[in-house]
Structure 1
Amino acid sequence: MDVTVSELLELFLQSPLVTWVKTWGHFRSGNDDNLAVYMELVDGIILNQIMLQIDPRPTNQRINQHVNNDVNLRIQNLTILVRNIKTFYQEVLQQLIIMNLPNVWLIGKDPLSGKSMEEIKKVLLLVLGCAVQCERKVEFIDRIQQLDIETQAGIVAHIQELLLVESLRFRQ
């Protein structure tokens, strides 16, 4: 059975990771328009703002605040985000990311594809990993604990997924 883009989008936006991101309250579009919410995610503005709260170290890279569906600006914002995530894992957490990094080019060029949604999921997973391991982790974990039990369980499963990958790295 073929799944439409709007069905994929709805499933994606109901995922525990997106529900967690929505608790940050940075969405301009509100939570009613699925396409607008998703495009705000893939534009990288909100995720960069969240990452800045996790790791407030100064950066010289400016985020484009008005992407307006510009592919190049979207790719630039996502590139900055992934670079900041990678730097945080390496310099602050002293960890290497062993999964394939998200393909920002794919997200930027074709954000509404199923493959792009998988890539955005990787971004969200990496941001979650930063949040639950940073200095302010208690605050961020408290935010997760405010969510309903089913969503919390989904987020815990994602955290365990990250920890499993980390433990596999140390066994090698």
Structure 2
Amino acid sequence: MRPRHASRDALRAREFEAYVAGAGGRLLHTATLLTAEAPDDNPRARHLLTLALARTYACWDGLRGDDPYDRTRQYLASGFARGAWHRHGRLLRRRPHPGSPLARLSPRERLVLVLRLYEGVAEEQTAALLGLPAERVRAVYHRAMAVVLSPPRRPAGAVRDVQAARS
């Protein structure tokens, strides 16, 4: 390898490492919200983020002024939307963590809610990213918010037990 190529590759690697050091935590949190896993036990989120970062690194030289965070977030969203984690090992087929407030949402609802609410992506951009009409994104977002903001229903027997305890 020529010295010029080696130094360019080293610079590229340092730039990418700095990017991951700065954005990796937030991106992992985003992936964890998407998978609805526990923050301390999130193998699907880590796998999803690893794939997104690998794709970002592969096109690092071609970004040319584009925001690498935006590109990685797009890769996270598209990887999650495609359901890529279902095609890989058993480790990635785990169900959402039952304690997660997002566990009651469908994957599409989680994706729209995380992009719109946590990541602050505009409705039109979310629609374009997911290949959906903006009206559909709006409807999914409102339904997801309603599910998250409403408490889960308790079994009828549990209500009677609570009322009996108050008496």
- TM-score, normalized by length of structure 2? 0.33
- TM-score, normalized by length of structure 1? 0.32
More helix by share: 2
Larger radius of gyration between Structure 1 and Structure 2: 2
